[in-house]
Amino acid sequence: MDKLAVEGGKPVREKPFPPRILFDEKEKEAVLELIEKMMTGPEVIDLYGTGPEVEAYKQEFATFFGARFATPTTSGTAAIHAALGSLRLEPGTEVITSPITDPGTVAPILMQNCIPVFADVDYDTLKITAASIEKMITEKTRVLIPVHLAGQPCDMNPIMELAKQHNL
């Protein structure tokens, strides 16, 4: 490669990545219906994120995943913080995750007085693997937080097998 594509060289990709549209008309209609209810009726979602619509969502979510309970959160960061908090980890516990992430993955680890440990990412996928995770496991490791990147999941089957082997 003599030149970068922006300087007239051959592009690595000829076809753009597909758009990340995660919603369709069904979701659009549901959101518009909820907004209409909020504007014209009694409070369906209050300042604290509770109300009949949230309760209905919690139940549907739990049922979908075959769980008895579900707890909605305001973000992925809050979800990680709640999940780690529910484990009641000892200060200094090691949590293995990816170095390619945003602060929302690492901040909850630190907020629980735990130590983030970064496993190397695969060169082709930019995601951590069971092999890279295994190299980082110590007697202080209790949790793995794989980071799925750009809508592409980590290879979870080997990661889950490794987690079972080490009781993580």
Kindly report the average pLDDT of the chain as a whole number.
91
Say how far residue 112 (Cα) sits from the centre of its chain: 17
Mean pLDDT of 56-70: 93
- CATH of the domain spanning 76-165: 3.40.640.10
Evaluate if residue 106 carries a pLDDT over 90: yes
Q: What is the pLDDT of residues 118-140, one digit of tens each?
A: 999 999 899 999 999 999 999 99
Mean pLDDT of 102-112: 96
Ordered by start, the domain boundaries in the chain are 25-64, 76-165
At 110 the pLDDT is 98
C-beta of residue 127 within 8 angstroms of C-beta of residue 117: no
Evaluate if residue 1 carries a pLDDT over 70: no
Evaluate if residue 42 carries a pLDDT over 80: no
Structure tokens at 71: 């707890």
